[in-house]
A and B are shown apart, each in its own frame.
Chain A
Amino acid sequence: MEKLIKNNTIYYLLISISILFLAIGVTLYMGEYFYGLIFIFLSILIYLLANLNSNKKDGFKEFLKQKFKVILYPLIGIFVSLIVGGIIMIISGYNPFEAYAALFYGGFYKNWGTAVINATPLIFTGLAIAFAFQANLFNIGAEGQYYIGAMVAAFLGLYIKLPPIFSLLIIFLVGSFIAGIYNIIPAWLKVKTGASEVITTMMFAHIARYFSPIFIRSFGGDPTAGSKHPYVTDKILETNRLPTMKSFLPNADYRIHTGILIAIVLAIVVYYILFYTKLGYDIRAVGKNINAAKMQGINTGKIIFITLIISGMLAGFSGVSQITGLEHKLAQELNAGYGWNGISVALLASNDPIAVVFTALLWGALDAGGQYMQRNIGISGAIVEIIKGIILFLVVARYIYNYFYNKYFKKEEFVSAEERV
């Protein structure tokens, strides 16, 4: 008995160290300190070490097996799209190797900071859409919930005067809560009348988008200010801004803010909700087979309702983090597009919350690298959009893989009919 406790103590100690290292590593890495990667590797190593003797090793293998497809499809998509992009570059007279070197150097090293900044709102909206997808709901209106979150954050940011921790907490909670509330009518229509959430949330997205200029003009929007965006709100109070990474990592890009860390933590929370709680179980059950879920006493209407609200809240976080972390003001910019891009990010991640973090970072890095490439090589950054499009196409069109897989690669294992029973 004592031995067991001792073993368990060591086990939990190792796991704690592993988690600590992971947190340090991710923070450093996101703040452009690339040796953060070493911590991340160490963390994985310690995790494996801790599980070396337990039967959880099989669990890890099983985990990899399960996630195999989540990882494989995007990788194939990236590979193929790079080849196609390369062909386009050759046709238009550029050296693809040089261009790709610039793209990846720019995206993943030189302009990594920009990549992280780009990725932050995408992680939130990607999570929102992935979460709804788990219940077989398509929250296409994440864009609208983004604007609601942003507006609430701007409003509260202008007026709340409290110590930073409290005010930020209030802004985040209230902002996301109201963004979630914004989904009540689509949710109610979906449950009570069966109106498709695709249409209703999209319409609500437009309402929110075009409401934002009105909002801006009521809160300090000054047409005579002469800035590039004539219509912007006043800047939110200093105390209501998210701390930047630079405040504790001096070499980080001054624009990177701690929103990225919140996003990553939230991804883990969403993963936990989906796979380790009763609510998540119900959500997945409703998503995979609503009839069976109903037949087994799950209140499907309630689950759909809750899922849409939570999805709205996650998208709302995106707007809040963008205002309090990066922009500090709400500008009249009707094409933020984080909601729409969130759809791509979620699809690419096969609706896996953890994978959303990676795909959002990839999307951000491609954008950042594209800018770098355009500046240094002269190829239009539009090539990045083509690459993104092809990646997404190949990930979404899974049938293509299944077709080729069945045709050429499938090992012919024959099982007699008896074994099937």
Chain B
Amino acid sequence: MEEYILEMKNITKKFPKVIANEDVTINLKKGEILALLGENGAGKSTLMNILYGLYKPTSGEIILDGEKVQFHSPKDAIKHNLGMVHQHFMLVENLTVTENIILGEEPGNTGFINYNLARKKVKELSKKFKLEIDPDEKIENLSVGLQQRVEILKALYRKAKILILDEPTAVLTPQEIEKLFEVIKDLVKTGVSVIIITHKLEEVLDIADRVYILRRGKLVGERNTKGVTKNELANMMVGRDVVLTVTRTPKKRGEKPTLKINNLVVYNSKKLKAVNNVSLEVYPGEIVGIAGVDGNGQTELAEAIIGFRDSYEGQIILDNYNLPINDKTQKNSLNSILNKLFFENNFVKGRLDRGISIVPADRQRHGLILEMQVAENLILGYQGKGKFWEHNILKWKNIYNFSDELIKKYDIRTPNSKNIASNLSGGNQQKVILAREFSKTPKFALIVQPTRGLDVGAIEYIHKRILEMRDANCAILLISLELEEIFSLSDRILVMYNGQITKEFKTEETDQMEVGFYMMGGDKTKVKEA
């Protein structure tokens, strides 16, 4: 009891409609690595946001170093030597590392910043904690792993004794994760205590000394990581036995490729080659996974395939049909001339009509129209299909019947078809997209980041559905930043690095470490990581 530096006692936080935390009590010892484990929406982040002063608890108290404290804002928390690294980094992209670290607590006086002193301080700090970094590099030029390092340094610069890391590994490669864990272990030796929020079981076992498990806002248990098994933790986390990976039955793929990409080059907004000479084939009845760290050309590749982008070279062939890629390659019809003169060319429609489905990465931005009804969302993209309209007049009866059917079939939790899509939870929103895209019975489906931000239950469901589509002989290209997802779904894995496909694997013949190695460029000396 006496050695606890932090106690959160009986914390309850109520939001309208949701109890985020209910009577949660946790303690933290000095120099300890503590994990908070739970599904998305279990209340981990809320609990830590309360600690960091972002939310006020409805009831309960926080005791820091034996003293009762009350934080009204993160400023108070920082004053009490707390530091937090959010899942989405709070860095200013076009400022340097030093400028970001000192932001808010600049050394110097009377309105001038002493940059030399600042740089020196940052250098000292990075030496002390073995967090090497170039203090003059701009944030936008850093990899995600290094950006995270800047965040940690920022917290340490403010003399953090307790460091909270919110899902720190979500955006990292296996190598970067290992590095991060080393850093954390070093930090703890200097007397800093660390709280890690995560929903990944392996990480808990790898790094934490102790773990609290949260479920639906309540604390369900506390374990020392020594002697606890993955299955035990998983059981506590979801309250039932989860199959950690869906079973993928072997299946013989089709003879002829559905989608064939030849020497594709896509330019980004800076006229640089974001996708550089990529060729690939996807056969019916197989899932091809593209693994890669974010920003290596996956977005551009996806956009080129669905026709969202028209500045590219090369060929995209769907079932022996060369998909039009720009004004020149499109057939000259009255429509295309009108489009050229007055409107804009939309290459997506032609692709949808030919049997391409897309599950976009950003479901709220590209996948759904949040302010529209579920039913209206479910017919989005059914362009020119007579079932839902004839002579431009909507057939609401058919639409609602169709929608009710899909809601039942895909287990979408909504009171009715007329519910507004923004009222649904993330998992159900994704189910709406999946239901819509798969009900089109596509020849080829492009699926990008299908389970981002979803909890175990929803992930399992969505994975199952994707595999069902594969078994129904659909050709699927899966682009995901989550290696586990790639591994549990794909039949073949392509590694994308720097706009190129650098390596191809059969899933059975490789492991995550090997793929991760190639995701970082293959040759470690080439990697920017220090």
Contacts and interface: CB of A to CB of B under 8 A. Distances in A.
Nearest to A304: B343
Contacts of A293: 369, 380
B40 to A, nearest CB: 9
B349 A299 contact: yes
B334 interface: no
Among A188, A192, A296, A410, max chain B CB count under 10 A is at: A296
A295 B358 contact: yes
A292 interface: yes
Interface stretch (A96-104, A106-114, A274-282): A274-282
Given A414-B17, A420-B41, A294 B339 contact: no
A297 B216 contact: no
Nearest to A276: B394
Given A293-B369, A295-B360, A421-B413, A415 B394 contact: no
B38 to A, nearest CB: 9
A421 B343 contact: no
A295 B18 contact: no
B371 interface: yes
Interface in B387-443: 389, 392-394, 396, 413, 418, 425, 427-428
B308 interface: yes
A301 B458 CA distance: 36
Contacts of B350: 297
A123 B139 CA distance: 54
B217 A417 contact: yes
A16 interface: no
Interface in B363-378: 365-372, 376
Nearest to B396: A276
A421 B369 CA distance: 19
Contacts of B365: 289, 291-292
A279 B392 contact: yes
B324 interface: no
A421 B457 contact: yes
Interface in B251-286: none
Nearest to A279: B392
Nearest to A418: B216
A280 B352 CA distance: 21
A185 to B, nearest CB: 11
Contacts of B342: 188, 191-192, 301-302, 305
Contact of B346 (A188, A294, A305, A410): A294
Interface string A56-69: 00000010001000
Among A291, A295, A298, A412, max chain B CB count under 10 A is at: A295
B369 A288 contact: yes
A403 to B, nearest CB: 13
Nearest to B454: A421
Interface string A301-314: 11001000000000
Contacts of A224: none
Contacts of A300: 344, 346
A296 B392 contact: no
Contacts of B42: 417
Interface string B201-222: 0000000000000001100000
A284 interface: yes
Given A292-B365, A292-B366, A294-B308, A301 B343 contact: yes
A296 B370 contact: no
Interface string B332-359: 0000000100111010111111000010
A300 B380 CA distance: 13
Interface residues of A, number: 41
Contacts of A297: 346, 348-353, 381, 383
Given A415-B18, A417-B43, A295 B428 contact: no
Nearest to A303: B343
B460 to A, nearest CB: 12
Among A277, A284, A299, A300, max chain B CB count under 10 A is at: A299
B455 interface: yes
A12 to B, nearest CB: 16
B344 to A, nearest CB: 4
Nearest to A306: B343
Contact of B18 (A280, A406, A420): A420
A421 B418 CA distance: 18
Contact of A284 (B348, B372, B393): B372
Contacts of B217: 416-417
Contact of A295 (B367, B393, B425): B367
A278 B370 CA distance: 19
Given A278-B394, A414-B18, A420 B425 contact: yes
A413 interface: yes
B189 interface: no
Interface of B: 14, 16-20, 41-43, 216-217, 306, 308, 339, 342-344, 346, 348-353, 358, 360, 365-372, 376, 380-381, 383, 389, 392-394, 396, 413, 418, 425, 427-428, 455, 457-458
Given A291-B366, A296-B352, A421-B428, 18 more contacts: A66-B418, A276-B393, A280-B394, A284-B376, A293-B369, A294-B308, A295-B360, A295-B367, A295-B381, A300-B346, A302-B339, A302-B342, A305-B343, A412-B14, A412-B16, A417-B41, A417-B42, A417-B217
Task: List the 9 shortest-distance A-B pairs measured between CB atoms, nearest first.
Answer: A296-B381, A297-B349, A301-B343, A301-B344, A302-B343, A417-B216, A297-B348, A289-B369, A299-B346
26 contacts: A62-B418, A276-B393, A276-B396, A277-B389, A278-B389, A285-B369, A285-B372, A285-B376, A288-B369, A288-B370, A288-B372, A289-B365, A289-B369, A292-B365, A293-B380, A294-B346, A295-B308, A296-B383, A298-B383, A301-B343, A406-B16, A414-B14, A414-B17, A415-B17, A416-B216, A417-B19
Interface of A: 62, 66, 188, 191-192, 275-281, 284-285, 288-289, 291-302, 305, 406, 410, 412-421
